[in-house]
Amino acid sequence: MDTTAIDILTFSNQTKQDRALLRRFVDFAWQHYQQDPHYIPLLDYEYLGFKLIGMTGFFEPQNLFFEHGEMAFFLAVRRGQVVGRCNAFVNHNHNEHWKDKVGFFGQFESIDDQRVADALLRAAAKWLKMRGMDTMRGPQNLPVNEATPGIMIEGFDSQPVIYYHYNKPYYKTLLENAGFQVAKRYLSWEVTVARPVPEKVDRVVNKVIKRYNLLFEFWKERPLAQRKKEMFDIYNDAWNNNYGFVPFTQAEFYSIIDDMQLVMDSDLFLFCYVDNELAAFFGGVPNITERMRQIAWCPRCELLRAAKMLLTKGKTKGFRTGYLGIKKRYQGRGLDGVMLWKQHEGLNKKGKYAYSNLGWTLEDNMRVIRMAELFGGKLVKVYAIYEKKIPLQ
């Protein structure tokens, strides 16, 4: 083990010097994973922004997160070289919603050295403690509610999926040696689209459709402004009590829908009506991570990588679901399974996609787990989010 001192650089996102350090923050992941074929980075623009195309980065002060959150960034440096990084943040909307004092750390990356990990996590804990937090949870990456919580602990050879974080297998050991314990596990399932649905599922679905007089619409059957309002009105109500959920502001939610238009396939979105009243929506987006692999002869040509992604998105073989909302008074009626069946049936006939990632679900959500198994789902990824009490001294 290298015993050379580890320096922790702490910074924000306000000044020109901060922006230079944020560039090093983003660059470290490229260096850290450069020999790993399973790592497909998001575009640098998603973190740092790109004014030419009107993209606001996750880390930029203009990001809507900073209207209700505050954040600091940390770089671990040894002999002038970055050897680890993380951020720490307080999400005031989270703490108001859950009536707690939880602070988060995220974007955690480290070489396989416990001293580096400990130094980063101590710095993050100290910053959170100064803001009155009594518990530290993570890793929680940005964007909150979209990126998978925690670190991957199983499925390192699985298909990369958009906003599904990938990390080194030894991170589990680093966090547990630092005194963190698993708070929740998240499971992710994959379904082969061409796989026939069992007849018993067909029978049950048709009974539910008839019993509740269900009708379905696709995305394009109503104006975009109406779809955005419908989804926002349902989403926060539907997920209000789900572990770790933070209510969206309207501006945040609408921004996500606007960004989605760049890669959207409207055939993947269904809206479900009970007796002509909107009860639920269910949808997904093409897994554009397939089209985001680095260009061999120019791995950091981010504009070219973005262009390749957009120009070839139609060749995507799979998609990720995860946009789901069911009004509380309609929950428990099987609408989630019916909409999955309806989507599966339609896409199977078109033959457009080979697989679907069903999004992540909590390890104790037995209803969703049974549904995934009924549709022939294969468990492909497992994530764990950790937490630790922040010491008083």
CATH of the domain at 33: 3.40.630.30
The answer to whether residue 171 sits within a structural domain is yes
pLDDT band (50, 70, 90) for residue 200: confident
| Distance, CA of 72 to CA of 84 (rounded, Å) | 15
Specify whether 205 is located in the same domain as 339.
yes
The single-letter DSSP state of residue 57 is P
The residue type found at 125 is A
Q: Is residue 147 part of a domain?
A: yes
- Domain shared by 173 and 286, yes or no: no
The answer, yes or no, to whether residue 139 has pLDDT greater than 80, is: yes
Q: CA–CA separation, 188 vs 1, rounded Å?
A: 36
Q: Do 180 and 197 have their domain in common?
A: no
Tokens of 160: 């990369």
For residue 57, what pLDDT is reported?
A: 92
Left if phi > 0, otherwise alpha if psi is -120 to 50, otherwise beta: which for 155?
Answer: left
Please tell me whether residues 15 and 104 are part of one structural domain.
yes
* Segments forming the whole domain that contains residue 226: 191-382
pLDDT for the residue numbered 392: 65
For residue 2, what pLDDT band results from cuts at 50, 70 and 90? low
Question: 90 and 238: one domain?
Answer: no
* 135 in the same domain as 40: yes
Cβ-Cβ contacts under 8 Å for 80 (sequence gap 6 or more): none
End position of a domain, from candidates 152, 186, 220? 186
What are the distances in angstroms from CA 160 to CA 39, 93, 152, 291, 318? 8, 30, 12, 11, 11
- Whether residue 390 lies inside any domain: the answer is no
- The tally of domains found in the chain comes to 2
CB 90 within 8 A of CB 69: yes
Q: What number is the average pLDDT over the span 159-183?
A: 96
Please state, for a pLDDT cut of 90, what percent of the chain lies above it: 78
CB-count burial class (<10 Å; 0-12, 13-18, 19+) for 234: buried
> Rounded mean pLDDT of the chain?
93
Mean pLDDT over residues 136-160, rounded? 92
* Res. 393: pLDDT tops 60: no
Domain check: are 182 and 209 in the same one? no
CB 228 within 8 A of CB 323: no
Nearest to 342 by CA among 232, 223, 219, 209: 209
Please compute, for residue 263, the number of CA atoms within 13 A of its CA located in the half-sphere on the CB side: 25
Taking a C-beta distance cutoff of 8 angstroms, is the pair 291, 316 a contact? yes
Domain boundary residue among 156, 186, 216? 186
Provide the pLDDT confidence category of residue 349 given band limits of 50, 70 and 90. Answer: confident
Average pLDDT over residues 324-339: 92
SS (H, E, C) 291-307: HCCCCCCCCCCHHHHHH
Mean pLDDT of 36-63: 90
Tens digit of pLDDT for each residue in 6-18? 999 999 999 999 9
Q: Do 202 and 141 sit in the same domain of this protein?
A: no
DSSP three-state, residue 359: strand
Q: Radius of gyration over alpha carbons of the chain, in Å?
A: 21
CA distance 73 to 11: 5
> What whole-number distance in Å separates Cα of residue 107 and Cα of residue 32?
13
Residue 2 is assigned to a structural domain of this protein = no
Maximum Cα–Cα distance for the chain, whole Å? 70
For the beta carbon of residue 282, count every other beta carbon within 10 angstroms. Answer: 23
Please indicate, yes or no, whether residues 71 and 119 belong to a single structural domain of this protein.
yes
Per-residue pLDDT at 81 exceeds 60? yes
Residues 6+ positions from 14 with CB-CB distance below 8 Å: 61
Query: Does residue 387 fall inside a structural domain?
Result: no
Task: Give me the residues paired with residue 185 across strands.
Answer: 384
| Strand ranges for the chain from DSSP E | 7-11, 69-78, 81-91, 102-110, 135-138, 151-154, 181-192, 214-218, 270-274, 277-286, 318-326, 355-362, 378-389
Task: Report the range of poorest mean pLDDT among 59-68, 141-150, 305-314.
Answer: 141-150
Q: Which residues contact 314 (CB under 8 A, 6 or more apart)?
A: none
pLDDT at 198: 85
For residues 269 and 302, the answer to whether their CB atoms sit within 8 Å is no
Q: How far apart are CA 341 and CA 73, in angstroms?
A: 44
Structure tokens at 192: 């082969």
Q: Are residues 279 and 246 in the same domain?
A: yes
Shared domain for 167 and 199, answered yes or no, is: no
**124, 157, 186: which is the final residue of a domain?**
186
For residue 392, being part of any structural domain is answered with no
pLDDT of residue 346: 84
**pLDDT by residue (tens digit) across 53-65?**
778 999 999 999 9
Statement to judge: residues 65 and 96 lie in one domain: yes
Residue 190, phi then psi, degrees to nearest 5: -125, 140
Mean local confidence (pLDDT), 97-104: 96
Q: Average pLDDT, stretch 356-373?
A: 92
Q: Average the pLDDT over 150-176 and give the result.
A: 96
Name the β-bridge partners of 274: 214, 277
Residue 282 lies in a domain: yes
pTM over 0.85: yes
Structure tokens, 273? 């009506």
Quote the CA–CA distance of 164 and 156 in Å, as a whole number: 11
Residue 389 lies in a domain: no
